[in-house]
Amino acid sequence: MRVHYLQHVPFEDSANIGNWAKANEHSLTKTEIYKGQPYPDISDIDMLAIMGGPMNIFQYRDYPWLKNEKVFIEKAIEKGIKVIGICLGAQLIADVLGARVTQNPYVEIGWHEVTLTKAGTSSNILQDFTKTFTAFHWHGDTFEIPKEAIHLAFSEACTNQAFQYKENVIGLQFHLEYSQESIEKMLDNCSDELIDAPYVQNKEHIRKNYHLIKSNIELLNTFFKYFL
């Protein structure tokens, strides 16, 4: 399988999605959008992963490439290839599908529980997930569930944590792909977002729970087992 990912900033790469691809002998390519790299031909990829980033999806003045990225994502969805968006990536997909993306009532950073909806527990893609699991989060925005999409999961701080559109598109607000290195990069580059708020954990609490990364990797591998 030909896996391609879109990277928005130097410190948010494919992380454990890349490790999964290599372990399963899939090819792995990328477009570092922030460098102005060109997009591949849609026919040259089988799965598209859209990673996170600190910007919001309408920040065109600072990141004018967002407009072209949305066009590329729309083409990928229409082509029927497998598309997964994470955090910013999920918000971009939601916008492309006509759903609103707004500020979430709470900033959500750290290790927080995610609970599957009734539809989520019935999803073939999430069939081996427990109803409630702990995942890593780092976001201040949220998406509405697109029309014709299925609402899969929620958390206490954020009502819409995951959705599925048709059989080929998944949006996840939380990060199953983050490695310890990924989180350390976030702590280095985005520590100003660690404000005193109900759902924002400090560096010590986040680092104390690095043992949870292993279970997140297992969930990620389970996800891909059924998504593909």
User: Is 137 labeled as catalytic in the residue annotation?
Assistant: no
Are 151 and 159 in contact by the 8 Å Cβ rule? The answer is no
- Told to judge if 87 belongs to the known catalytic residues of this protein, a careful annotator would answer yes
Pairing relationship of beta strands 132-143 and 162-165 according to DSSP bridges: unpaired
Backbone torsions φ then ψ of 29, nearest 5 degrees = -130, 170
Half-sphere exposure of 161 (CA within 13 A, CB side): 27
What is the reported pTM? 0.98
**Catalytic annotation, pick one of 8, 112, 151, 175:** 175
Number of structural domains in the chain: 1
Pair of tokens at residue 94: 């939601």
Q: Which of 12, 108, 144, 177 is catalytic?
A: 177
Q: Which of 107, 39, 44, 113 has its CA nearest to residue 73?
A: 39
Tens of pLDDT along the chain (228 residues)? 999 999 999 999 999 999 999 999 999 999 999 999 999 999 999 999 999 999 999 999 999 999 999 999 999 999 999 999 999 999 999 999 999 999 999 999 999 999 999 999 999 999 999 999 999 999 999 999 999 999 999 999 999 999 999 999 999 999 999 999 999 999 999 999 999 999 999 999 999 999 999 999 999 999 999 999
Q: Which domain holds residue 102?
A: 2-227
The CATH number of residue 124's host domain is 3.40.50.880
Residues 150 and 123: beta-carbon distance below 8 Å: yes
Catalytic residue, candidates 4, 87, 112, 139: 87
Query: Is 177 part of the annotated catalytic residue set?
Result: yes
199: DSSP letter: T
Q: Of all helices (H) and strands (E), which one includes residue 71?
A: helix 65-79
Contacts of 8 (CB under 8 A, 6+ apart): 33, 34, 51, 52, 53, 55, 63, 88
